[in-house]
Amino acid sequence: MTLRNIALCGLLLATLVASLPTFVAAQSSAAAMPPNRHAADADWWKHAVVYELYPRSFADSNNDGTGDLNGIIQHLDYLQQLGVDAIWLTPMFPSPQVDFGYDVSDYRAVDPQYGTLKDFDRLVSEARKRGIKIILDFVVNHTSDQHKWFKESRSSRTNRYRDFYIWRDGRAPNEPPNNWRSLFGGSSWKLDTTTGQYYYHFFYPEQPDLNWRNPKVEREMFNTMRWWFKRGVYGFRLDAVDVLYEDPNLRDNPVLEGTDAYGSPKQERKYDHSIPEVHAALQRMRRVVDEYPGRVLIGETWTSTPQELAEYYGPHNDELQLPMYFNFTTINKLDAVRFRQRIEAVETNSAGGWPVFVLSNHDIIRQVDRYTPPGADKDQVARLLAALYLTLRGTPILYMGEELGMHNNDPVRREDVKDVIGRLGWPKEKGRDGERTPMQWDATVNAGFNQGAATWLPVGSDYKTRNVAVESADPVSVLNWYRRLIELRRTVPALSEGDYNTLPVSDEHLLAFSRTSQGKTVVVLLNMSGDEQTVSLADLAPRGLRALATTAVTMSGAQVKLSAYGALVAEVE
Ligand code: GLC
């Protein structure tokens, strides 16, 4: 009998104990995270849990209100105990901070507010001692307008850096070259009076796009990668790589119905997004990466179909090892049917590639706020989402604070907004401050983020009870649930490398799948509803089930009762 044939029955088992509080099976102690046996493998990233760390908000060691590299070093033990294998550090390069680091003015240095290159080297070596690799965020599409290349470029039409950026004449007096709209509002073109031409910026005007058709740009960027590899960096997350190229003929985008958050007519991004030339560039970039064993490329790849995603792996798996699949982030409700469809789409279309599902990051409203239905227990939904995310095939990328079940802390007044898009698009677009508030370490002042100096964003109001210290001591906390699931990924091969199979269910609110490796099968049951669900796994597990991690679940043999938003991870005996 194949797993696919097994029907899970939606029986209500009156014989089961009525309800049990949430619990975690075989709870591990914080210090007991087993080592990752694959840490030295060339494809270590397939067995890794990556942690996205936003340095402004992680830990502020010098009490100036923003986080810094030394703050990260002070908390590396925490990350080791969580089971983190690699940190994706969002940009800490010198920057005017218009887009909080995504406007880089020097790719080969550290912004003084975060520390020095020496601090960075110490971070790399202290992390290495704990089995943690550092991955940098490489802002490949654009620089800051304060980068020396752009200052040169804008100074005259004949400057040797002119062609590092995209300069064009307007199509008529006071009219930009075409109708393209910046993702952050308004035209994508800005007239620069010094030379009377427009430059192109997909994001803010302070973020001019690099011209990747200029081989000198490519050479500079590739050499920058080599420079960081030699410093011990294990890879890059490529920022906005899907907009690296634009249509060479600058054709107008088709205009759609309605307006965006900034009041401009919406448009189909036909000519300024996903231009196929990106693939050849990524293949060349991958050759640079392959000069250094074990290095990895993660891509911020927004795609509309899994086929488009598959292209980012390259025709011979010679582009990105880890292109991100963002199509979970648009579901925005606990809809088991849609989750299942999107998982299956990747499983059948990833061209042999290794998946990277995305649930959360520094640009997206925190997952408990996106997915928790009105009135439901957010912590229980946090556990359910963790059980989904950490048991799928692929490499999970945990956004800092999700492991605590942190909530969005949105600004309530426009004047408090720090993220410029929030000021431009208020109130429709509140910006991304809410998901970037300081990490909550303990119940002391400012959640232990610093020693009391005003923090760049306010600390979440629930910090006294939702923090690392409190949750570490609570065996059924969201944090200990994450630790338990990560421990399972390290110790149960079916979960880290097993095949994925959807299991048929009789209730549309259940998501059920199995992972199989070396003859061992692990079953995952997720109740995406507030109603109790009862399932028989007798056909699949005639000899019974061994619970590996459960929350809001009661079991009797192969009969499983899942309370609201309950989750079960169990091995078939
Ligand atoms: C990416 C980053 C985002 C940034 C943008 C421009 O989408 O994740 O934070 O604003 O690129 O660099």
- Residue 127, token pair as written in the block: 């992390």
Report the pLDDT value the prediction gives residue 350, as an integer from 0 to 100: 64
The ligand 1 atom at the shortest distance from the C-alpha of residue 139 is: 12
The pLDDT tens digits for 267-282 are: 999 999 999 999 999 9
Report the pLDDT value the prediction gives residue 332, as an integer from 0 to 100: 87
- Taking the centre of ligand 1 as the mean of its atom positions, its distance from the CA of residue 225, in whole angstroms, is 19
- Which of 52, 97, 99 for mutating ligand 1's site (highest number of atoms within 8 Å of CB)? 99
- Residue 80, token pair as written in the block: 């080791």
3-state helix, strand, coil in the chain (%, to 5): 30, 20, 55
Please work out whether the CB of residue 99 comes within 6 Å of at least one atom of ligand 1: yes
Alpha carbons 204 and 183: distance in angstroms, whole number: 8
Instruction: Judge whether 58 and 70 are in contact, CB under 8 Å.
Output: no
Report the pLDDT value the prediction gives residue 541, as an integer from 0 to 100: 94
- Taking the centre of ligand 1 as the mean of its atom positions, its distance from the CA of residue 203, in whole angstroms, is 8
Check whether 20 has a pLDDT greater than 50: no
Please work out whether the CB of residue 139 comes within 6 Å of at least one atom of ligand 1: yes
| Location of structure tokens 């840490």 | 39
Please work out whether the CB of residue 102 comes within 6 Å of at least one atom of ligand 1: yes
Mean pLDDT of 151-157: 98
- Taking the centre of ligand 1 as the mean of its atom positions, its distance from the CA of residue 92, in whole angstroms, is 13
Please work out whether the CB of residue 100 comes within 6 Å of at least one atom of ligand 1: no
DSSP reduced 3-state for 233 = coil
Taking CA atoms, 21 is separated from 380, 426, 535, 563, in Å, by: 11, 41, 19, 9
| Location of structure tokens 């692929």 | 394
The pLDDT tens digits for 446-499 are: 999 999 999 999 999 999 999 999 999 999 999 999 999 999 999 999 999 999
Alpha carbons 319 and 288: distance in angstroms, whole number: 11
- Measured in degrees and rounded to the nearest 5, phi and psi for residue 315 equal -60, -25
The pLDDT tens digits for 34-83 are: 999 999 999 999 999 999 999 999 999 999 999 999 999 999 999 999 99
Nearest to 391 by CA among 274, 276, 503: 503
Look up residue 484 and give its amino acid: R
- Taking the centre of ligand 1 as the mean of its atom positions, its distance from the CA of residue 192, in whole angstroms, is 24
Q: Which residues are annotated as catalytic?
A: 239, 291
Please work out whether the CB of residue 363 comes within 6 Å of at least one atom of ligand 1: yes
Tell me the whole-structure pTM to 2 decimals: 0.95
Report the pLDDT value the prediction gives residue 1, as an integer from 0 to 100: 24
- Taking the centre of ligand 1 as the mean of its atom positions, its distance from the CA of residue 206, in whole angstroms, is 13
The ligand 1 atom at the shortest distance from the C-alpha of residue 103 is: 12
Maximum Cα–Cα distance for the chain, whole Å? 83
Alpha carbons 233 and 92: distance in angstroms, whole number: 14
Please work out whether the CB of residue 206 comes within 6 Å of at least one atom of ligand 1: no
Check whether 3 has a pLDDT greater than 70: no
How many separate helices (H) and strands (E) can be counted in the chain? 14, 18
- Taking the centre of ligand 1 as the mean of its atom positions, its distance from the CA of residue 314, in whole angstroms, is 23
- Which of 141, 203, 399, 400 for mutating ligand 1's site (highest number of atoms within 8 Å of CB)? 203
Check whether 506 has a pLDDT greater than 90: no
Alpha carbons 491 and 178: distance in angstroms, whole number: 55
- Measured in degrees and rounded to the nearest 5, phi and psi for residue 113 equal -70, -15
The ligand 1 atom at the shortest distance from the C-alpha of residue 102 is: 12
The percent of residues above 70 in pLDDT, for the chain, comes to 94
Please work out whether the CB of residue 260 comes within 6 Å of at least one atom of ligand 1: no
* Mean model confidence pLDDT for the chain: 93
Nearest to 481 by CA among 3, 175, 26: 26
Buried b (16+ CB within 10 A) or exposed e, 423-432: bbbbeebbbb
Please work out whether the CB of residue 203 comes within 6 Å of at least one atom of ligand 1: yes
- Residue 335, token pair as written in the block: 């809809």
Check whether 304 has a pLDDT greater than 80: yes
The pLDDT tens digits for 224-259 are: 999 999 999 999 999 999 999 999 999 999 999 999
Report the pLDDT value the prediction gives residue 352, as an integer from 0 to 100: 65
Mean pLDDT of 25-35: 62
| Location of structure tokens 């997350």 | 237
